[in-house]
Amino acid sequence: MQLWVGLGNPGAKYAGNRHNIGWMAVDRIAEDHGFAPWRSKFQGKVTEGVIGGEKVLLLKPETFMNLSGQSVGEAMRFYKLDSTDVTVWHDELDLAPAKVRVKAGGGHAGHNGLRSIHQHIGPHYDRVRLGVGHPGHKDRVAGYVLSDFAKADADWLDDVLRGLSDGAPQLAKGDGGKFLNAVALRTAPPRSSTSKPKAPNRREEAAPAAEEPSEDTRSALQKLADKFR
């Protein structure tokens, strides 16, 4: 079994926050892949299902972000999982909006949810880093991540969530590259190779060049003879 954890804060006022993109991701996956209804357990909400032939438990800790590790540790111990069976989906300030990266292990980079998880299960878990951009100054970070996505973000955010869901079976199989390709097909789809070239504007079409008369090489006698033919 794999444990996929979406980070966020509980309550309606936080639902649209940038900090809650991890919750949004697992919600979309659960909906698209026919998971069971969410139920309360492990100080959060959980649901089980099968993705890519792998059994996956989705968890949304409801301890608030700073204590996320309590919920994750409890679920991991209950199912006797190793930290390497855990994948955490979280907002990432160091990535531009709509950018997604996967990472195995590493530091928490000051993210309070990851910091708490480090304290409870160690650093050796996988992450799906979901770019939300940076406000430009560290003093503005708290207000930025606890603010809702702007209306202008709606299209790319929906594309990212669809892409994450599309690629979930590949991630479950351990193929991070194909997972990221699925996201890219939503966020930066290739141009169709079957599209017809634009028809030229008739005004722009060049008129056929007039045929230049060929040089007359006849002799004076020949010209005179041709007149009477």
| pLDDT per residue of the chain (229 residues) written in tens, 0 to 9 | 999 999 999 999 999 999 999 999 999 999 999 999 999 999 999 999 999 999 999 999 999 999 999 999 999 999 999 999 999 999 999 999 999 999 999 999 999 999 999 999 999 999 999 999 999 999 999 999 999 999 999 999 999 999 999 999 999 999 999 999 999 999 988 776 555 555 555 544 444 554 545 556 666 656 555 655 5
Q: Burial code of 120-145, b = ≥16 C-beta within 10 A, e = fewer?
A: bbeeebbbbbbbbbbbeeeeeeeebb
Which amino acid is residue 171, in one-letter code?
L
Q: Give the pLDDT score at 207.
A: 47
Residue 70 within any structural domain of the chain = yes
CATH number, residue 46: 3.40.50.1470
106 belongs to a structural domain: yes
Range of the domain at 55: 2-187
Query: Looking at this protein, which amino acid is placed at residue 77?
Result: R
Residues recognised as catalytic: 19
User: 45: helix, coil or strand?
Assistant: strand
Q: What's the whole-model pTM score? A: 0.82
Task: Name the residue among 136, 116, 134, 117 with its Cα closest to residue 125.
Answer: 117
Tell me if 196 is assigned to some domain.
Answer: no
Please report the pLDDT score of residue 189 as a whole number. 82
Contact at 8 Å (CB) between 61 and 70?
yes
Q: Please tell me whether residue 148 adopts helix, strand or coil conformation.
A: strand
Q: What is the pLDDT of residue 206?
A: 47
Residue 72 lies in a domain: yes
Q: What is the pLDDT of residue 99?
A: 97
User: What residues pair up with 113 in beta bridges, in sequence order?
Assistant: none
Q: Return the DSSP state at 90.
A: E
Residue 229 lies in a domain: no
**62 token code pair:** 């409801």
Query: For residue 38, what is the DSSP state?
Result: P
Q: Is residue 61 part of a domain?
A: yes
156 found inside a domain = yes
Overall domain count for the chain: 1
Domain assignment present for 27: yes
Nearest to 179 by CA among 54, 77, 75, 57: 54
